[in-house]
Structure 1
Amino acid sequence: MGKRLQLKEGLLMGQQTSYPLALDGGQSPKLSRWLWLVKWLLIIPHIIVLFFLWIAFLVLSVVAFFAILITGRYPRAIFDFNVGVLRWTWRVSFYSYSALGTDVYPPFTLADDPGYPARLSVEYPQSLSRGLVLVKWWLLALPHYLIIGVFTGAAFAGYNQVRDGNAWAYGSGLIGLLVCIAGLVLLFAGRYPRGVFDLLMGMNRWVFRVTAYAALMTDQYPPLRLDLGSSEPPPSAIASDDAPMMPAPVIP
């Protein structure tokens, strides 16, 4: 009964999904050869807004932490706001240097935009474990942090921070490397390698799943796998034990 209810609630764009967070991105058939070279400039207004939105996201996540600890529920208003921040972030990331998947400028809104090629949703949990909230965002998510650190470059930057003390360091990670390759192919050949795009979607999907889990928005442990392609895989394509629910510790 519980699994059946999860499948009914896990909908995005009319499709059932295999994880509470569903991330999709439709690659535009025609992309500008050169626009990606200046997208860093075009997204500056979004970066400014997202800076303040993510501060609010972090503060409200702390509020949600205590609410879950006391009531076992994630306040719905905070949940909807935080999903909106993730959704906005994904649209800007898809447009810019996490995918270069579209040249359509992202809208300035927390709400879902059915007309935009990049979409994200998180199904609202009716209840959450009070015990799991104490450990999932740091201890249980640690293996995922190591993996997505390689994807995003955080692992390289962290290594240099330890090695060089307080020296500034930056690493673009696999996502940045693949986006650079895709941009160069697009610039000189006028096409976007489909295999690179599918791989980028899988890595971005992994990053956002872990973000939602660490932000306490679900108790379902993120799967240790790359789900490639524009759309989420349907539940029928995934073994039932591939992404198990992490057990909640017993609280006396």
Structure 2
Amino acid sequence: MTDRTATVSAGPVRVEAELEEPLSRWLWLVKWILLVPHYVVLFFLWIAFAVVTVVAFFAVLFTARYPRPLFDFNLGVLRWNWRVSYYSTGAFATDRYPPFSLGPEPDYPARLDIACPERLSRGLVLVKWWLLAVPHYIVVGFLAGGAGGERWWFAYAGLITVLAFFAVVAVAFTAVYPRGLFDLVVGLNRWVLRVVAYAALMTDAYPPFRLDQGGSEREPRP
């Protein structure tokens, strides 16, 4: 088995992914059936995520702090969603079934971490999730889509799903996941996850309009 790693080290949102080879040529045809239990759980987790975000909004507004238990829960939901997405329509880059867990799961090939801020801006919490994030929402709408079921904010297949499908077709015929597609798909998912973390009030760091694909993300120049 060979691992190809994509890591982001800059900024509060860190996304890591390993391409695990060899991949099954035909397992992707039934992954959506295998993930039905995850989709059921995620449906309720996303409802809880929305409620927790509203509670966190008022907590930040009055205290400038995101309560750590609420932060950890929402981070867990995003981790769970990223693992399910990576296994299925978000990448098809692993055949390892995602665990039912809100924890970090360091041994799984798709990992997500967000640094918990000590303080957040009370003023930004009023505008960042709708006004400031609008340009990114347009981009995310094009990238993410929602055909995979775990994408709850749109109702169509986005560029990520299309590229992941091309990659898995290549695997079916050649048994090789194209490296260029892997780097691009991870980069696009990274963009989406940064925006979601910002819109969920988990960071004040505005997501960069930058596609960091493959390898280790370079520190931005001043």
Structure 1 and Structure 2 fold alike (TM over 0.5): yes
| Correspondent of 2:64 among 36, 57, 72 | 72
Q: How many residues align?
A: 209
| Correspondent of 1:101 among 88, 93, 103 | 93
Offset from partner CA, 1:23-52 (integer Å, 9 cap, x none): 111000210000011111011111111111
| Counterpart amino acid of residue 66 in structure 2 | Y
Structure 2: distance between partners of 1:179 and 1:96: 9
CA contact 1:150–1:174 (8 Å) conserved in 2: yes
Structure 1: distance between partners of 2:8 and 2:190: 16
**Sequence identity of aligned pairs in percent?**
57
Structure 2: distance between partners of 1:185 and 1:100: 11
> Corresponding residue for 2:49?
57
Structure 1: distance between partners of 2:49 and 2:156: 25
> Corresponding residue for 1:227?
212
Structure 2: distance between partners of 1:102 and 1:113: 15
1:232 Cα deviation after fit: 4.5
Q: Give TM-score scaled by structure 1 length.
A: 0.80
SS at match of 1:81: helix
| Correspondent of 2:160 among 159, 170, 175 | 175
Decide which structure has the larger Cα Rg and report it. 1
Larger strand fraction of residues = 2
CA contact 1:23–1:232 (8 Å) conserved in 2: no
CA contact 1:22–1:232 (8 Å) conserved in 2: no
Question: Within 5 Å, which residues of 2 pair with 1:105-120?
Answer: 105-120=97-112
> Corresponding residue for 1:43?
35
Is residue 142 of structure 1 aligned with residue 124 of structure 2? no
> Corresponding residue for 2:173?
188
Unaligned runs of 5+ in 1: 1-14, 155-168, 241-252
> Corresponding residue for 1:131?
123
Structure 2: distance between partners of 1:139 and 1:115: 38
Q: Give TM-score scaled by structure 2 length.
A: 0.91
| Counterpart amino acid of residue 28 in structure 1 | E
SS at match of 1:145: helix
Unaligned runs of 5+ in 2: 1-6, 147-153
CA contact 1:18–1:232 (8 Å) conserved in 2: no
Question: Within 5 Å, which residues of 2 pair with 1:83-94?
Answer: 83-94=75-86
